Structure 1
């Protein structure tokens, strides 16, 4: 059994590692959209369910035959999973090229592109994920062939090992990706899968795990008892998957305002969930040796535990971020970790076929939970009501009629009173707690499948927050992104593309030039708040020169053939935000170059970032474009990059002003900070730098690429900096996790810190 524990520890490690990397590789090839992310995760879970069900059927039909090679089939499945690290990146690149060739002939609508990319992702990922799902029934069949007493609870044994491996798989990539990139990290997974496959196959050669007998593990009486298990067990398994994975989507919304939108924050939520699941599974394995269904109170208690996250995410409680997450996620996940393997053990009693079906039912719930949460509940009712709706089934179990209680033993009067008390406590949590948005009394809140968006403030102090993170505020920096770029073109601009809408300031400034303007925004609710910041927002959006697109900016450029004189990119802060590297990478710039007219200029805004990030972005731009210029903004926060394949003429501030329409000049000066238009440009012209100066700040840092997201994964270099310089001198990126953008006008020194 020690061998199987080691196998499933490594298998769990690899499965989470692959899931994280495959998701990022798919984003790079097909776009960062909620729909595509859901497709990837759904295909991953669908493959697990199909593999579990299919392998279970295989063991039922042939598992009792002498010589059935269950362990060798398991070894083959692990070997094929290891092959995925080589196959999936190549297949995704092939799919991307196929879509490019299709869109080169015709412009695809967003819906058609979703359909085509979703179909390709399904074709690519499903076979490999099916191999992952097959490992549980095949390993259980191998254990059963050894006729050990442990085989009756083999699922929970493998589940325990798999979950603790998954914890390691959620932690290790945080360091491996920083060191070796996504491709190098995938190779680590390949080595682990090959080790499993070779070791499992070697055991069959030694005869230690071969199927030498066709004798059944269960006696006829035991088999009758197992097959007589109530169907409610499958219903409960479905509900545990549905509720747990649905809540995971909501947990990210609840805790992002405190933890930040960085990969480490999301990883900590995942690690907390998996670690608590392991603890619950361990308690079940250690103390519940009978494998009986937990008393009825245990299920009703899930309602209270499920709403604990509303308490720990309440801004009125001064908890540090790790404690907020652990207390909000841990108790519920731990209890689910106790109940899920217990249900499968009781339903299957070691039978691989029944375990495969039970696990598939659980996985089906895991597929539907995030879809229900992200596309229905969160947009319609918000985080708090969505959490309540997810725990309503557990509350309802407190009021089951007597004839339904036979399947849920332990329903004596005292237990029922305790169950009612649990329901009351859960409702008290819901009605007495508050969420993050209540910190802003003067606010407008919109929700969609992508984010919760808050518009707040008055006058020049208005702010935009998505999922509780400050994205931008009214500042002349965003105006100058447009005016500097358009005034620097070799000829009067004919059109422009803005990627990332924000408050709409950059887009509004482009429109002041009287040219056709296309703006691409990922979050549907953000442009709906345009008039909150700019009273003429509705008029601008209705203009025949305006074209608003809800999509991933990089994906939009790939599927539309139009070319632009200027492409202006304003990625949302913080610089370390998860997925933001896809708007700074060499691969992104390669796509953008294809959409620039001859002489066109790409404008890239980099808000802060440590020296490694500044160097990495500058190097990526230098290696992508022939000519690059760098400027400090008018309020000295961050960097403006102008990049082109043709020389960018060096013009004086007066020349730049003369090239602007009167309406554009008026727009540029609306918020200052300079007194005259010439002085406004002078503030930037006198800071003209070369990319080499930024590259020299960290000369060993590679250019930012899809495979090496330097800006997102920085823990090791920050720790190294801490060790070399000491805590007193070490200061993290000002745009670190959970922080909001500093007020405009703060010193450049503070920005560099």
Structure 2
């Protein structure tokens, strides 16, 4: 009885150690994905390098360290050593990634794509030692032949549970509090505490003996290794595809992705615990392994088959319920993320997690537990790496989501057949499983795009699946006001609806028209609909026009948007498909204007295009009179986060000014020279036939209407952002911003309009015209604000008054209540 109690206490202690170790592992991995996105570009390659490097290190470590731990009698000491090395390497690599951007760019210039191997190798090193922590404590737990599966399930489940906490706490708490570098140091500190505690246990404990079972004869190979490797291939491939599926029902916030990964790890943890508890009671382990392998992917296909508008309605209702309980917008959104993630992922990942204790008992039979577990994990990990690469870079772009799932299902059938075939009594049963394949005939390849159309309405005009993403263009609106909208990963990004047409053209034309001197070269970061970049074609003074876009499918999609002057077919503008920040880091080219229109600031990975560090990089690439124009969507983040973005610009540029380009959009221009309103030059540029036509189409017909969009200079922006900390790479405030309330526009827009300043040194007559046009613009904006608070009477009254003053403006007429 006493011995049983001691074993129970030991299991609890070891589970706690592995729980904390799991937290740090996922914390480091999350940080490396974020950091590498800056170093080599925010795209699928940076994530793939981290994932493949991390899992390769785990795989090699499991294989090598499993043997090493099995041969030694001091597992606690080795656990402590593994934690110390992990702490040192983890923090060191984070520091190298943070401060080594320039060095890496130089290496990439020399080595080309082979430079990817440098961060890949660095990340694999700490992962190698992370793998040994579980194996060392498994050896220390002294599992017997009777409780092998139970010990493995509990310990591995605890480690995975810690990974859940690490996944969720990193974006919600650790990075917002400590910053990126502080988070790495925090993780390393936990590793060192764990090592110190285990060294204390090692010195205190009496010398223990470990029974060594005879090793299997050299050259003997168990089929279980191969099958568990294929299970890893299927599992990680499913994770890649889930990333494409689930995001269409969430959004692009970091919290959504963290929730999805948290549910993934939760399923693995539950599966480990359940299988660990009951594995010794299962009479036919091979039958269980085959059935569970097949069931996981079968449930995924069922979830895809039955997803429809009713499920989306339930998702919304669950979010509303969470809102009623916690009374926060964050609870509402997290409720939606949690529901849809569980719908697609939870049961299949429970099946994945249950496989490890079962196959461990099959392969080890209670002997050489650490070594056999290490080999199994190595096979599973290598299979996972191969699956993520093949699925992410080949299957998904070639076959699409549905057909890739079909192929994985066939592979699951094969694994199940082999597992069933190990039991003579089941061999006749295996051919009947072919009936399961009938499900594939009921799922159309266009399942998700059809659902998108049901949810948003409209007609699909373009759809393409690329490496790590999907891009669609959907025609929306009624017969009188049709427009196209761009969807990336099922989330609306932008479109060519009239208000968007207005702000995007002004994004380029305002800085060009007010430029001090003659602008000759422009770089646009972010293509989207192509309207911002297309406006450059209308400005005749330019000699060099460049735009950089991350996704090649977006370039193809620009053909379906109006108002961009079909720039993708125009040789006067160069379109580069790569990461914008990376381009500026690699090239020494100087521009007169860099205009920035990436995805909204709170989207995952985009903070690095709104940070002080990035603005410093832009400043280095500007000419003496150069300008940097930053798109500011005032409704996509909290007012506090907007203030931090503005503060980052002010900390870099000595001069800055603000313009209103549309009711929901602002434009911040930073420069090394003050804004010089040269009226004659502005009139000359407004008179260019191409410029005049482009502005007429968006409701700017004269110089007074153009200049009425000026809001304030540096002093006003300083007042707005006075107490805010700047957005930086180390403190990515925008990415971890709170949830935005609908009232954000009714708070921030009046505040900015109330501070609107007059442009000095202008003729009095023009000043009066500007004041008149500004008053009309304010009537229009305040009418919009009235509609946000439900005052349709005020909205109608203000617009009616506006049309008495100006009934020929295309912008105002777009919203005409008549």
Q: Partners in 2 of 1:449 and 1:190 — Cα distance? A: 34
Partner of 2:807: none
SS of equivalent to 1:659:
helix
Q: Partners in 1 of 2:641 and 2:784 — Cα distance? A: 16
Runs (5+) with no aligned partner, structure 2: 1-10, 316-335, 749-779, 790-818
The alignment status of 1:265 with 2:256, answered yes or no, reads: yes
**Cα deviation per residue 1:682-723 (whole Å; 9 max; x = unaligned)?**
3412xx2245555655654310011111111124xx5xx99x
The alignment status of 1:190 with 2:188, answered yes or no, reads: yes
Partner of 2:4: none
Q: Partners in 2 of 1:434 and 1:343 — Cα distance? A: 35
Q: Partners in 2 of 1:749 and 1:84 — Cα distance? A: 53
**Cα deviation per residue 1:74-121 (whole Å; 9 max; x = unaligned)?**
101111212234312222245323134568xxxx49xx65432x1221
Q: Partners in 2 of 1:750 and 1:35 — Cα distance? A: 46
Q: Partners in 1 of 2:22 and 2:145 — Cα distance? A: 23
Partner of 1:163: 160
Residue of 99, 104, 109 corresponding to 1:99 = 104
**Cα deviation per residue 1:523-551 (whole Å; 9 max; x = unaligned)?**
1111112221149866x445443211111
Larger Rg belongs to: 2
The alignment status of 1:707 with 2:730, answered yes or no, reads: yes
Residue pairs, 1:291-440, within 5 angstroms: 292-295=285-288, 296-311=290-305, 313-315=307-309, 317=311, 318-320=313-315, 321=336, 322-348=338-364, 349=366, 350-396=368-414, 400=417, 405-407=420-422, 411=426, 419=433, 422-425=436-439, 427-428=441-442, 434-435=448-449, 436-439=451-454, 440=458
**Cα deviation per residue 1:434-483 (whole Å; 9 max; x = unaligned)?**
54444443321122114211112267511111111111112211000110
TM-score scaled by structure 1?
0.86
Q: Partners in 2 of 1:657 and 1:42 — Cα distance? A: 57
Partner of 2:245: 254
Q: Partners in 1 of 2:650 and 2:688 — Cα distance? A: 34
The alignment status of 1:507 with 2:498, answered yes or no, reads: no
SS of equivalent to 2:141:
helix
CA pair 5-513 structure 1, distance change in 2 beyond 3 A: same
Q: Partners in 1 of 2:387 and 2:733 — Cα distance? A: 33
Residue of 29, 41, 55 corresponding to 2:65 = 55
Q: In the alignment, is the contact (CA less than 8 A) between 1:443 and 1:457 conserved in 2?
A: yes
CA pair 577-133 structure 1, distance change in 2 beyond 3 A: same
Q: Partners in 1 of 2:29 and 2:724 — Cα distance? A: 27
Residue of 631, 645, 662 corresponding to 2:688 = 662
Q: Partners in 2 of 1:432 and 1:69 — Cα distance? A: 56
What's the offset of the Cα at 1:371?
1.4
CA pair 616-312 structure 1, distance change in 2 beyond 3 A: farther
Partner of 1:625: 653
The alignment status of 1:649 with 2:676, answered yes or no, reads: yes
Residue pairs, 1:721-732, within 5 angstroms: none
Q: In the alignment, is the contact (CA less than 8 A) between 2:25 and 2:166 conserved in 1?
A: yes
The one of the two structures with greater contact order (alpha-carbon pairs below 8 A, sep at least 6) is 1
Residue pairs, 1:535-684, within 5 angstroms: 540-573=567-600, 575-608=601-634, 609-633=637-661, 635-651=662-678, 655-660=681-686, 662-669=688-695, 671-674=697-700, 676-684=701-709
Q: In the alignment, is the contact (CA less than 8 A) between 1:183 and 1:707 conserved in 2?
A: yes
Q: In the alignment, is the contact (CA less than 8 A) between 1:312 and 1:325 conserved in 2?
A: no
**Cα deviation per residue 1:568-602 (whole Å; 9 max; x = unaligned)?**
100213x3110111110011011111111111000
Partner of 1:77: 82
Q: Partners in 2 of 1:496 and 1:424 — Cα distance? A: 56
Q: Partners in 1 of 2:264 and 2:345 — Cα distance? A: 6
Q: Partners in 2 of 1:522 and 1:135 — Cα distance? A: 39
Q: In the alignment, is the contact (CA less than 8 A) between 1:50 and 1:130 conserved in 2?
A: yes
TM-score scaled by structure 2?
0.79
Q: In the alignment, is the contact (CA less than 8 A) between 1:75 and 1:198 conserved in 2?
A: yes
Q: In the alignment, is the contact (CA less than 8 A) between 2:657 and 2:712 conserved in 1?
A: yes
Q: In the alignment, is the contact (CA less than 8 A) between 1:581 and 1:706 conserved in 2?
A: yes
Partner of 1:737: none
Partner of 1:466: 488
Q: Which moved more, 1:602-611 or 1:178-187?
A: 178-187
RMSD of aligned alpha carbons: 3.2
CA pair 646-231 structure 1, distance change in 2 beyond 3 A: same
What's the offset of the Cα at 1:412?
7.7
**Cα deviation per residue 1:357-398 (whole Å; 9 max; x = unaligned)?**
111111112212221222112211211212222222123457
Partner of 1:238: 229
What's the offset of the Cα at 1:486?
1.0
The alignment status of 1:175 with 2:173, answered yes or no, reads: yes
Partner of 1:444: 462
The count of corresponding residues between Structure 1 and Structure 2 is: 704
Q: Partners in 2 of 1:611 and 1:619 — Cα distance? A: 12
Q: In the alignment, is the contact (CA less than 8 A) between 2:495 and 2:561 conserved in 1?
A: no
SS of equivalent to 1:368:
helix
Q: Which moved more, 1:664-673 or 1:338-347?
A: 664-673
What's the offset of the Cα at 1:405?
3.7
Q: Partners in 1 of 2:721 and 2:512 — Cα distance? A: 31
SS of equivalent to 2:553:
coil
SS of equivalent to 2:735:
coil
Q: Which moved more, 1:526-535 or 1:17-26?
A: 526-535
Q: Partners in 2 of 1:487 and 1:731 — Cα distance? A: 28
Partner of 2:126: 128
SS of equivalent to 2:709:
helix
Q: In the alignment, is the contact (CA less than 8 A) between 1:388 and 1:430 conserved in 2?
A: no
What's the offset of the Cα at 1:267?
0.8
The alignment status of 1:287 with 2:278, answered yes or no, reads: yes
CA pair 16-640 structure 1, distance change in 2 beyond 3 A: same
Partner of 1:115: 114
Runs (5+) with no aligned partner, structure 1: 723-727, 735-743
Partner of 1:43: 53
SS of equivalent to 2:669:
strand
Q: In the alignment, is the contact (CA less than 8 A) between 2:511 and 2:629 conserved in 1?
A: yes
Q: In the alignment, is the contact (CA less than 8 A) between 1:615 and 1:695 conserved in 2?
A: no
Q: Partners in 2 of 1:331 and 1:308 — Cα distance? A: 11
**Cα deviation per residue 1:404-426 (whole Å; 9 max; x = unaligned)?**
74425773878876x45544346
What's the offset of the Cα at 1:56?
1.9
Partner of 2:761: none
CA pair 729-261 structure 1, distance change in 2 beyond 3 A: closer
Partner of 1:479: 505
Q: In the alignment, is the contact (CA less than 8 A) between 1:164 and 1:274 conserved in 2?
A: yes
Q: Partners in 2 of 1:551 and 1:286 — Cα distance? A: 50
Q: Partners in 2 of 1:548 and 1:359 — Cα distance? A: 45
Q: Partners in 2 of 1:255 and 1:75 — Cα distance? A: 39
Q: In the alignment, is the contact (CA less than 8 A) between 2:56 and 2:124 conserved in 1?
A: yes
Q: In the alignment, is the contact (CA less than 8 A) between 2:287 and 2:420 conserved in 1?
A: no
CA pair 708-751 structure 1, distance change in 2 beyond 3 A: farther
What's the offset of the Cα at 1:637?
1.3
Residue of 199, 202, 208 corresponding to 1:201 = 199
